Amino acid sequence: MTSGFTIFAGTANAALAASIARQLGVGLGACGIERFPDGEVAVRLLEPVRRKEVFLVQPTSPPVNDNLVELLALADACRRAAAARITAVLPYFGYARADKRHGCREPITGRVIADLLEAVGIDHVVTVDLHAPQIEGFFHLPVDSLTAMPTLCRALRDRLPSDAVVVSPDAGRTRLATQYAQCLGAPVVVLHKQRESGTETHVTHVIGDVSNRPCLIVDDIISTGGTLAESVTALLNAGARPEIIIAATHGLLLQGVRDKLVDPAIREVLVTDSVSVTEQNWPQLRVASIAPLIADALERFLTDGTLGDLYKANASNPVADKEKKKHASTALS
């Protein structure tokens, strides 16, 4: 039997954790998190968690390894303090892109992370827009991967020109782009991307018609911005109207990203707060909060409610339903 619940925030995104807690009508659990001079992490829970349901909110965003170890240490502290159940809320799951081997003598680091989370006694993982759904299969415990797509579509409402096309920046995001397109009632275009290295990509083909159309490029992650910068160039070269909106769930926004996305054709860059966004002085950048989505999910766990509709990309259709019917087919030729 559990006796209440506590939400602890790691240091990666305490503002999001606080916002989730506020929406659930509670304060954050008290804990101390420090770094020793040698870089090691020191964690202490400052309140009891015995028989409690515990939620640890920590995206494993950059600095990825530090934030991961902090989460592992918090979970271990909760387990040793006899928490009834530990749910790790990772709004962004680092190493998700390391989900397969590209050649021999390579690790599958995404799997290693899953093993580590299980090893410290985490019972349940909640994440948002997991880079590849098969990562769920790395775990033996329940994983709930929510989607921020309806949140982002709501934020795009009224801002997207009615003749816009939704663009997938590579084959891997085609499904995501199709979900956005269905939600927004727009056609889909797919770019063929080749990755030359961790920082270099190249778009070789635009599949679909973008002539004189505004574009909404959707992605799960903006890291260096290379993928999107290449996509914008390819779309403009293919005749797209210089009216481009970018929407992505996880704005890692590494150093230099803003400079890559300064093209005047880019009207807006929309991300969620799954990762703490500290960028200042970037007027095109807008942040939509996923705190209500996560708070809703946690409330449902606490009341044994179903999460089914929080998974579904088309759970709520915030934009034009009738437009959706009109454009049901894609622009793919």
| Residues with catalytic function | 193
The residue within the footprint of ligand R5P, chosen from 10, 59, 110, 169 (CB under 6 A), is 169
To 5 degrees, how large is the angle CA 79–CA 83–CA 87?
80
Give the total of residues touching ligand R5P (CB under 6 A).
Answer: 14
Q: Could you give phi then psi for residue 251, rounded to 5 degrees?
A: -90, 80
In whole angstroms, how far apart are CA 178 and each of 60, 85, 168, 218, 237?
Answer: 27, 36, 8, 10, 23
Residues 178-217 close enough to bind ligand R5P by CB under 6 A? 201
Q: Does residue number 225 form part of the binding site for ligand R5P (CB under 6 A)?
A: yes
- Strands (DSSP E) along the chain, which ranges? 5-9, 31-35, 41-45, 53-57, 85-90, 124-128, 143-146, 165-168, 188-195, 201-207, 215-222, 244-251, 266-272, 285-288
Candidate list 148, 226, 245, 293; residue touching ligand R5P; CB under 6 A: 226
What dihedral angle (degrees, nearest 10) is formed by the CA atoms of 237, 243, 246, 252? Answer: 80
What angle is formed at CA 310 by the lines to CA 133 and CA 321, rounded to 5 degrees? 105
Closest distance to ligand R5P from the beta carbon of 146 (Å): 17
The identity of residue 266, as a single letter, is I
Nearest approach, Cβ of residue 199 and ligand R5P (Å): 7
CB 166, min distance to ligand R5P, A: 15
What residues are paired with 215 via a beta bridge?
165, 244
Residue 253 or 291 having the CB closest to ligand R5P: 253
How is residue 58 written in tokens?
């920590």
In the complex, least distance from residue 210 CB atom to ligand R5P, rounded to whole angstroms: 18
| Binding test (CB under 6 A) with ligand R5P, winner from 24, 135, 203, 222 | 222
Kindly state whether residue 94 participates in binding ligand R5P, applying the rule CB under 6 A. no
By CB under 6 A, name the one of 224, 249, 276, 289 that touches ligand R5P.
224
Minimum distance of ligand R5P from residue 313's CB (angstroms): 16
Alpha-carbon gap, residue 49 to 12, rounded angstroms = 22
Residue 99 interacts with ligand R5P (CB under 6 A)? no
Site for ligand R5P in 121-140 (CB under 6 A): none
Binding footprint of ligand R5P on the chain (CB under 6 A): 97, 169, 172-173, 201, 219-227
